[in-house]
Structure 1
Amino acid sequence: MKTKIHYFTGGLSDSYWSRPSFRLSGLILLLGSSLLVPITAGATKSSMPMAVEQQTKKITGTVTDNSGEPIIGATVAVKGTKNAAVTDVDGHFTLSGVTNNAVLRISYIGYSDQEIGIGKQSTISIVLSQDTKALDEVVVVAYGAQKKTTLTGAVAAIGTRELKQSPAANLAVTLTGRLPGLIAIQRSGEPGRDVTNLYMRGRGTINGQNPLILVDGVERDITSLDPNEVDNVSILKDASSTALFGVRGANGVILVTTKRGTSEIPDISLTAETGWQTFTRWPSQIDSYDWALLKNQAWHNDHPNPGVTDAPPYSAYALERYRLGDQPNIYSNHHWVDELTNKWVPQTRYNLTLNGKGANVNYFVNVGYLHQGGQFKLDKSEKPSYDAKKFMDRYNFRANIDVALNARKTLKAFLNAAGTFETVNGPNEETLTLLTNLLGKWPNIQAGPTTPDGEVLLGGSSYQYSPWAQINRSGYRKETRSSVNATFGMSYDLGFLLKGLSTKLTASYDTQSINYLVGKKGYQYWESVVDPNRKNPDGSDYIEYHRIRTDFDNTPLSTSKSATFASFYDLQWQINFNRTFNEKHTVTALLLAQKQSQIKASDVLPFNVQGLATRLTYAYDDKYIAEFNAGYNGSEQFAPKNRYGFFPSASAAWNISREKFFEKWTNVVDKMKLRVSYGLVGNDKIGNTRFLYLDNVTRSYGGYSPSLSNNNTIQELFFGNPNLKWETAKKLNVGFELGLWKYFNLSFDIFSERRDNILITKNSTPSIIGVAQSTIAPFNLGRVKNRGYELEMSFNKPITKDLLIMAKANLNYNDNEVVYMDELKFDETYAYPYHQTGYSIGQQWGMIAEGFFKDQDEINAYAKYEGQQPRPGDLKYKDVNGDNIINQKDLSPIGYSDVPKYTAGLALSITYKNFDISALFQGAFNVSGAVGSPGPYEWYDFREFHKKAWTAERAAAGEEILFPALALAQSPSEIYNSTFFNMDRSYIRLKNLEIGYTLPKNWSRAINAKVVRLYVNGYNLATWDKMKFKDWDPEVMDNSTYPLLKVWNIGVNVTF
């Protein structure tokens, strides 16, 4: 067997090969019969096995950036030849065999390519400028990539630089505010369970609304993906860009592309981060004295004319004890939030990446670790045999390898292997239960949290649970998730058959397992009682302890295990064609066949999807572009006759700035482009119930009847609908792009969507037929329309050689309307005949509050309340229908939906010499909602804002009033949602901030490093909003949900 020896010089000095950093880059790679041997720059010409033409010379030079720092690993090539070199650690290069008429092409990732004619020069100095438009040149689209200049669809993208600026643990969160058209709402900050809802251009249906998410072309979860392994993220928004996904593309598509080997000189990069996290907001708690005052105030509101024997809950003596705090064992003052939660907890992250590119093998490897602490505080005096600490640990691994299998590199193979291993640990009690009980714990519970003998002190039989015990003595719950993904593929250039023809085959297999380990422990509940007949030796009251709640008992730790398993495979085969004729006519084509099968956790039957997709594009001189996309695929969710569908789209673009008549303006307007697309896309996300087209028939055992024998019968539990099919979305998009002075860009899109065949329950089915509504399958009757616009602007200009300023802003608007939901019309006595039809999905309904009742006379003269009667200080609701009665017939549309109509983002970046600073502001507007129950209501617990509740004295003095008159139980003000409690949840947030400093190159070389960067970054740092009650974050708005987190982080990145 012959061995081919390939030489490369790389332009590196002799000293470089002996450096420690070369231990990886100098490896000899052996693949098949190809041997790659490094040759130093000092090798003589006679030692090089290459032919050297007559009249050639040696060229030497340096490549630096705008700040004068050398660029390591830049490629310097003689254009049109294979003669090339790579710059060394000092930015130097050497090229032999160069003619005077040669042209050098200099390139490096992240910088603009440059071409320089040689002429009579022998020494050249080259300065490369950063290319922040690199991502815009080629954009990842469905099953491929396209030049942005020829793109006809609505696509937006960001790169790894922006993603890594956020210390968020969930990759989906890092997309917030960065991509026009994508709405990201974080509903929880709980470690390992930080849920983020994603919407593409708002809501278009009442059913499944999440976009399809693909990682390297395969449907996968991104919440646990490490930002360090992501190269770019693209979102596909219109029919042109999503039609290939057919029945799954109506809600938009998110494409995540992971990194691949690109560095000519292998890179080893180490990143270490450590930080601290705290809640963005947390309900306020007041001390026992203020709490008791408010309790008495509520009692007086409920008893305006108390009897002789009536008395408020707390006497003047008790109030004085709470104020002075001189008897804490009896008149206690607890701040349970401070006692049972940590203000700040640690978060750490470590990453190691390897990136290399050889003659035949490219590789990228990433290993990552993330630890995120939880806020629940364990009592250090407790010494349990188990760990109930709240935390999440995550390990990530990825290896992407590309191999050329033949000398001509027409046959290639690639392997993507990735794994995520995550542990979520905490107390046995669910977070919802812990938070609800913690926030409802009164501050004046006697003593606690335990008796002198160590038993759990509940504080009285009126309390249901002790949050201290739920955290410290309930046991533990450990959830271990393991996910392993593998994709293998091969591509073959079929140019020998037809120039521009190629094929690609991809096979993917994923597995996921979740193991649950639960340790459960029981405990008794006790209460403290003052014995009026006994005193302690020092004269203080004597306290006795009695056991209560006998349904709770001390039990040893017992453990149980359970597990779920899920698997997924995906097969794709595609034929591609890409060819330019006569340097003007470019034709590309794609034909793809796909089959996938997924077994979800706890399911037995797989979810199967299969189909075909095609794309055909034509571009004339990159000036006029036309594109046709279509998907033909199906889902087994539907009956065989409705299983497959055809989803076509057509689009076109006109690059006006490439017209000859436009040449005189190109020095100012470097880009002007129009786009338009229209097409049909589907949605098969119809809920968790499968096979709705089938009847559900079971055997029923007859019961005894005097007139019937006891025989088995057939019972039909569910009537299937064989005519069910997918939702269809007809989408229109018109876009305009403008570039000015080569540093300002603008993109504006308007869109319209009509969603038909939405699966809904047929409300108009009469009950007289004798069949329960729950036994009847839904119908494809719903219709929704959605429309809006998106504006994106960017500014990118080097002000001086040391100063670069970049800014990118986006503004998005969407407005949906329910056209038909088979909604029963209310009669004419209702203020509004429909509560869905004609309104946005999620429209809030409630009473219109017109202030507070000032006294009983005003109440007597006003419309009558149905049910519970109002008191002075209660909300005065508008009689909308004019019947002089306040009831549910007066409900009106108030506020907006819980998904914002407007979203915006502003990313700013300034680089000055070795310093850099970046910030992301993100906002949501025209969004509203009430705080989830029990929310701000005083019958649950008193908060700081209750101090400014209505009283006759405060109203007469014209003081600020933040709450209706307090009550000991639910008041008429709190029976209905209203304009008072339905708050404007619009906000502007400083989502990310990062400040970095890159050490000078000569400092980095001291540790044999290419780059050393130090930085500080933060996440969810500040929020400006219109919330009436500042205890809740406007994104979460729920008492029982883990609050969002604010994170401060410091880090260092070293690249060797």
Structure 2
Amino acid sequence: MINYDFSLSWKKKIPDGIEQLFRIMKLTSLLLLAVCLHLSAETRSQTVSLNVKNQPIKNVFQAIEKQTNLTVIFNDRLVNRSAPVSIHVHNMSLTEALETLLKPVSLTYQITENTIVITKRATSPPPETLRAPVPQQQRVISGQVTDNQGEFLQGVTVSIQGTAVATTTDEAGRYQLTLPANSTTLIFSLVGYERVEHALTETENTVNISMIPAISDLDEVVVVAYGTQKKISVTGAIASIQTKEIKQSPAANLAVTLAGRLPGLTALQRSGEPGRDYTALFLRGMGTLNATAPIILVDGVEREMTYIDPNEVESVSILKDASSTALFGVRGANGVILVTTKRGSSGKPAIGLTYEQGLQGFTRSPSVLTAYEWASLRNQAWANDNPNVDPNDPVNQPPYSEYALDRFLYQDYPEAYPNTNWQKLLFNDWVSQQRYNLNITGGGDYVQYFVNVGFLDQGGQWKISPDVTEYDPSGFLKRYNFRSNIDAKLNKSGTLSTFLNAAGYFEQVNSPNADTEEIFRRTYSFFPVVLPGPLSPDGEVLIGPGNYNVSPWALINRSGYRRETRNNITASWGLKQDLDRLTEGLSAKFMASFDTRTVYSLTASKEYQRWIQVIDPNTPNHLGMDSVEYRRMFLELENTPLSIGSGSNFQSFFNFQLSADYQRTFNEKHTVTGMLLAQQEV
């Protein structure tokens, strides 16, 4: 109840008008109070119907606002934490519905005038039985950290994974650490050493760790000419990559995998045809006018690198400047590429099996116009060349009439008005490439070995007609690789050692009996309106007039095929003797190499009849359309069987090397190296 009291300080009689005004004000206040009490009771007595499943609680608030015309006020931080809610009520009072909705998510409400205020529900303290248990006594762990030589390491950071708890070792390499609950892993780190992670056991209280020095880039050993050298001591321009980077590219040609991976090296691939993807390599451009290719050494012997399996390669280095290539004289003017293959290591045999699957296609292909588009553009070109021609002139008319344009557009008579996409007809968009590789490496104290075998199957881009069954004109490459590198010590001290490297490949390269450039040139010169297809209704090869007198389809499917069988065997044997008895760091080495290559070529060629299509628009056929007939051209050419021709080429090379090498470090600071080399190639 609200009381209103008006006191007057003077004792004069209140005028009747003012007294009447006071009475009106009192009555108005009573009426307003009654209305507010009625509205409050009416608000709480409202009913709502809700049918929500796994929805945000905000959506439920919106439904309540629509049904009650009340505004729901809430804090986003409270509502966003709540999980999706579900509520199913029908004609339930507003207060009961709010309690049913908010209680499971620890929220409550308060209705004030036309608003519903959502607040957090007060929580009572947990019962005595539900209080968190007292934490168990923390464990203390200690130990000592040394390097691989047994020397104590000071300043090693010892931390617990996932926490901020850490300490460092003292001058004796000792540490002590209190473990928080649920500690699982200790981490040991120090600049210049490999990081160590140690998994803790429940009963472990002492952990002693030995850390291994980290090999920096400056300590990395790189191949230089006929030897090796630490990267920190190299003054020439040298770059190298390892097997991990080389194997990232699935290319069939090892030279292609180097493109973009070595600074200063340019790889120019003029063709991607299987088995004929020769790649020209340039180091810092061309250094000479004639022979512009760099020298390529594979394990110290001048050889090709195109056919080497990337799984056999340990590293590839390039020597780019004069100081790096000085040992090669003027022959090194265009740079040197050094390929080092993998070798065995002591330990249990390790077997690796890999399979690679890739897709290859053209880097880019020109877009092709339809026959209607081509004919329309041809008419526009004619109109540009003849701007003042009378449209009613019976002689000077566009190359294609409106009737012909309609036939090209609707393709209702493709035999006379074709729309042939020669590019789609003759080329595959994508072809597969598979590579299989198996290698074994291992050895003992005296003998180490690395053996690798591989198979590469690369498809070609030409589409072969299923009608060609008597021979295979498709393009493909099938290559078998092998390599065996064996190192052996010939005495207990290891001062006398020997090695034997044997490698080779056997491959078959197949293609149509036509030049690839001519196939492309003929294909892209055939417009879509020239011929309805490659064959006549009787299965004979169709040609067009003038420059269209050679069919690109026939170059692929009716001209025969070419096949080359190539094999290459390389072998190197060497003997190395340490001459520390004469002076420390001196050694002598002898190596003899033999390479042989055989190429057997087979060419199977054939001829075929050539026919042309003749369209007579003045003579309708039985359908009332332009008549079409086929006539044979070049009567001296017949469909002949295959004519076989073959040839072979054999090459062999010998290489002998005798060298004396000196490499010695004084006071662990100064290193002196030198080499004398005599080489003979036959």
TM-score if structure 2 supplies the norm length? 0.68
Q: How does 1:127-142 map onto structure 2 within 5 Å?
A: 133=216, 137-142=220-225
Change over 3 Å in CA distance of 1:263–1:166 after alignment to 2: farther
Q: Deviations over 1:236-256 (max 9, x none)?
A: 011111010113100111101
Say which of 438, 453, 468 aligns to 1:367: 453
- Residues of 2 paired with 1:358 and 1:300: CA distance? 85
How far residue 476 of structure 1 moved from its aligned partner, in angstroms, is 0.7
2:63 maps to what in 1?
none
2:597 maps to what in 1?
512
2:664 maps to what in 1?
579
Change over 3 Å in CA distance of 1:136–1:433 after alignment to 2: farther
Select between 456-465 and 504-513 the one with higher mean Cα deviation.
Answer: 456-465
How far residue 361 of structure 1 moved from its aligned partner, in angstroms, is 0.7
Say which of 282, 289, 293 aligns to 1:210: 293
Q: Which amino acid aligns with 1:398?
A: R
How far residue 454 of structure 1 moved from its aligned partner, in angstroms, is 1.0
- 1:268 aligns to 2:351 (yes or no): yes
How far residue 535 of structure 1 moved from its aligned partner, in angstroms, is 4.3
Change over 3 Å in CA distance of 1:329–1:575 after alignment to 2: same
How far residue 558 of structure 1 moved from its aligned partner, in angstroms, is 1.1
2:337 maps to what in 1?
254
How far residue 190 of structure 1 moved from its aligned partner, in angstroms, is 1.5
Q: Which amino acid aligns with 1:332?
A: P
Change over 3 Å in CA distance of 1:466–1:229 after alignment to 2: same
The answer on whether the counterparts of 2:194 and 2:211 sit within 8 Å (CA) in structure 1 is: no
- 1:242 aligns to 2:334 (yes or no): no
Say which of 188, 212, 215 aligns to 2:271: 188
- Residues of 2 paired with 1:460 and 1:392: CA distance? 36
Q: Deviations over 1:314-357 (max 9, x none)?
A: 22221121111111111000111111111111110010011113
- Residues of 2 paired with 1:253 and 1:410: CA distance? 31
Secondary structure, in 3 states, of the residue corresponding to 2:535? coil
Say which of 452, 472, 476 aligns to 1:387: 472
The structure whose Rg is larger is 2
Q: Deviations over 1:978-1032 (max 9, x none)?
A: xxxxxxxxxxxxxxxxxxxxxxxxxxxxxxxxxxxxxxxxxxxxxxxxxxxxxxx
How many residue pairs match? The answer is 491
1:225 maps to what in 2?
308
Q: Which amino acid aligns with 2:312?
A: E
Q: How does 1:147-166 map onto structure 2 within 5 Å?
A: 147-166=230-249
2:418 maps to what in 1?
332
- Residues of 2 paired with 1:499 and 1:549: CA distance? 83
Change over 3 Å in CA distance of 1:450–1:231 after alignment to 2: same
How far residue 448 of structure 1 moved from its aligned partner, in angstroms, is 2.2
1:453 maps to what in 2?
538
- 1:469 aligns to 2:565 (yes or no): no
Secondary structure, in 3 states, of the residue corresponding to 1:367? strand
- Residues of 2 paired with 1:504 and 1:562: CA distance? 41
Q: Which amino acid aligns with 2:327?
A: L
- Residues of 1 paired with 2:342 and 2:319: CA distance? 20
- Residues of 1 paired with 2:339 and 2:206: CA distance? 45
Q: Which amino acid aligns with 1:439?
A: Y
Say which of 416, 435, 438 aligns to 1:349: 435
Say which of 543, 556, 565 aligns to 1:480: 565
Q: Deviations over 1:782-828 (max 9, x none)?
A: xxxxxxxxxxxxxxxxxxxxxxxxxxxxxxxxxxxxxxxxxxxxxxx
Q: How does 1:1010-1021 map onto structure 2 within 5 Å?
A: none
How far residue 122 of structure 1 moved from its aligned partner, in angstroms, is 8.6
Secondary structure, in 3 states, of the residue corresponding to 1:240? coil
2:403 maps to what in 1?
317
Q: How does 1:290-689 map onto structure 2 within 5 Å?
A: 290-306=373-389, 308=393, 309-380=395-466, 382-532=467-617, 535-550=620-635, 552-597=637-682
Q: How does 1:773-812 map onto structure 2 within 5 Å?
A: none
- Residues of 2 paired with 1:398 and 1:577: CA distance? 30
The answer on whether the counterparts of 1:183 and 1:200 sit within 8 Å (CA) in structure 2 is: yes
Q: Deviations over 1:166-211 (max 9, x none)?
A: 1111111111111121122222222112232221112333322111
TM-score if structure 1 supplies the norm length? 0.44
- Residues of 1 paired with 2:435 and 2:219: CA distance? 30
The answer on whether the counterparts of 1:461 and 1:548 sit within 8 Å (CA) in structure 2 is: no
- Residues of 2 paired with 1:454 and 1:251: CA distance? 55
Change over 3 Å in CA distance of 1:362–1:79 after alignment to 2: farther
Secondary structure, in 3 states, of the residue corresponding to 2:328? helix
Q: Which amino acid aligns with 1:522?
A: E
1:83 maps to what in 2?
none
- Residues of 1 paired with 2:195 and 2:413: CA distance? 80
2:228 maps to what in 1?
145
% identity of equivalent residues: 54
Q: How does 1:996-1015 map onto structure 2 within 5 Å?
A: none
Change over 3 Å in CA distance of 1:292–1:519 after alignment to 2: same
Change over 3 Å in CA distance of 1:196–1:443 after alignment to 2: same
Q: Deviations over 1:359-395 (max 9, x none)?
A: 1111111111111111100112x13311111111111
The answer on whether the counterparts of 1:135 and 1:158 sit within 8 Å (CA) in structure 2 is: no
Change over 3 Å in CA distance of 1:453–1:178 after alignment to 2: same
The answer on whether the counterparts of 1:460 and 1:528 sit within 8 Å (CA) in structure 2 is: no
Q: Deviations over 1:253-278 (max 9, x none)?
A: 11010000125222100001112222
2:363 maps to what in 1?
280
2:260 maps to what in 1?
177
Q: How does 1:831-910 map onto structure 2 within 5 Å?
A: none
The answer on whether the counterparts of 1:568 and 1:596 sit within 8 Å (CA) in structure 2 is: yes
- Residues of 1 paired with 2:456 and 2:287: CA distance? 36
Question: Which has the higher relative contact order, 1 or 2, with Cα contacts under 8 A spaced 6 or more apart?
Answer: 1
2:18 maps to what in 1?
none
Secondary structure, in 3 states, of the residue corresponding to 2:377? helix
- Residues of 1 paired with 2:412 and 2:437: CA distance? 54
Secondary structure, in 3 states, of the residue corresponding to 1:417? strand
Secondary structure, in 3 states, of the residue corresponding to 1:365? strand
The answer on whether the counterparts of 1:210 and 1:251 sit within 8 Å (CA) in structure 2 is: yes
Secondary structure, in 3 states, of the residue corresponding to 2:651? strand
Q: Deviations over 1:63-117 (max 9, x none)?
A: xxxxxxxxxxxxx97779xxxxxxxxxxxxxxxxxxxx99xxxxxxxx976999x
- Residues of 1 paired with 2:527 and 2:262: CA distance? 45
How far residue 533 of structure 1 moved from its aligned partner, in angstroms, is 6.4
Q: Which amino acid aligns with 1:246?
A: G
- Residues of 1 paired with 2:651 and 2:367: CA distance? 42
- Residues of 2 paired with 1:410 and 1:127: CA distance? 31
Change over 3 Å in CA distance of 1:270–1:459 after alignment to 2: same
Q: How does 1:704-723 map onto structure 2 within 5 Å?
A: none
The answer on whether the counterparts of 1:371 and 1:391 sit within 8 Å (CA) in structure 2 is: yes
